[in-house]
Amino acid sequence: MFARPLAFSLALAAPALVSAAAPAPANELAQVQQHLESVSSMTAGFAQTDRNGRTLTGTMTLKRPGKIRFQYQKGVPQLIVADGRSLYFIDYQVRQVERWPIGNSPLAVLLNPKKDIAKFAKVVPTGSDNVVSVEVRDDSHPEYGRITLIFQKNPSAPAGLMLQGWVALDSQNYRTTIRLSNQQFNANVSDGAFRWNDPRKQGPR
């Protein structure tokens, strides 16, 4: 059996970098907000590692607002996709589909460029001047889990930050780590990239 993929406890890279919380530097949090607002689309390779150390790879495609697709490596019969309204986990092996409102997922911070992360986020220390780590959680809804985004400072990236990945903890403290590679920003991405075949009725979505 394949481990349930990343979507419902998505998380980010280099957990060793994240230590005890510190007061959030306002300039770094504002820089992260500016980065999120300046990215209309993104593609990247990803490596997803679960709590058991198992790693799956694939391609991530993002289009704001509200659309994302995690296409897994060949041989993994699963797909995660958000179509602008809902987030779906599709398991083609057992022909099952699970659906969540986008706002109930930690991914909401990545999918909604208008979301004011200052209400939910804090900067946490990394031990490196070139790395910015931001933990996002909604204390009024602990069941949504939390996501820690990791950025590397890069003058050529939007707002000077390159998203390297994230570490997510779900409500049961199950950790998923996502590491990104070959990040490309603001290219034209068709809405058709977020269509999917429903295994329950063999029809397109």
8 Å CB contact between 178 and 48? yes
Name the residue among 152, 145, 106, 147 with its Cα closest to residue 126: 152
The answer to whether 67 and 82 have CB atoms below 8 angstroms apart is yes
**What is the distance between the alpha carbons of residues 169 and 189, in angstroms, rounded to a whole number?**
29
pLDDT of residue 20: 34
Location of structure tokens 């699963």: 78
- Name 68's bridge partners: 62, 82
Query: Domain spanning 28-50+57-181 has what CATH number?
Result: 2.50.20.10
Residue 202 has a pLDDT of: 62
Instruction: In whole angstroms, give the CA distance from residue 109 to residue 186.
Output: 17
The residue extents of the domains of the chain are 28-50+57-181
Q: Is the pTM of this model over 0.85?
A: no
- Taking alpha carbons only, the member of 149, 137, 145, 138 closest to residue 36 is 149
Cβ-based neighbours of 21, under 8 Å, separated by 6 or more: 122, 124, 135
The set of residues, in sequence order, having a beta carbon less than 8 Å from that of 166 and lying 6+ positions away, is: 10, 11, 12, 13, 147, 148, 149, 150, 177, 178
* Secondary structure (3-state) at 177: strand
Question: Which amino acid is residue 60, in one-letter code?
Answer: M
| pLDDT tens across the length of the chain (205 residues) | 344 444 333 432 233 333 333 434 468 999 999 999 999 999 999 999 998 899 999 999 999 999 999 999 999 999 999 999 899 999 999 999 999 888 767 778 888 877 788 888 899 988 899 999 999 887 777 777 788 999 999 999 999 999 999 998 877 788 899 999 999 999 999 999 999 999 987 655 5
Q: Which class for 196: exposed (0-12), middle (13-18), buried (19 or more C-beta within 10 A)?
A: middle
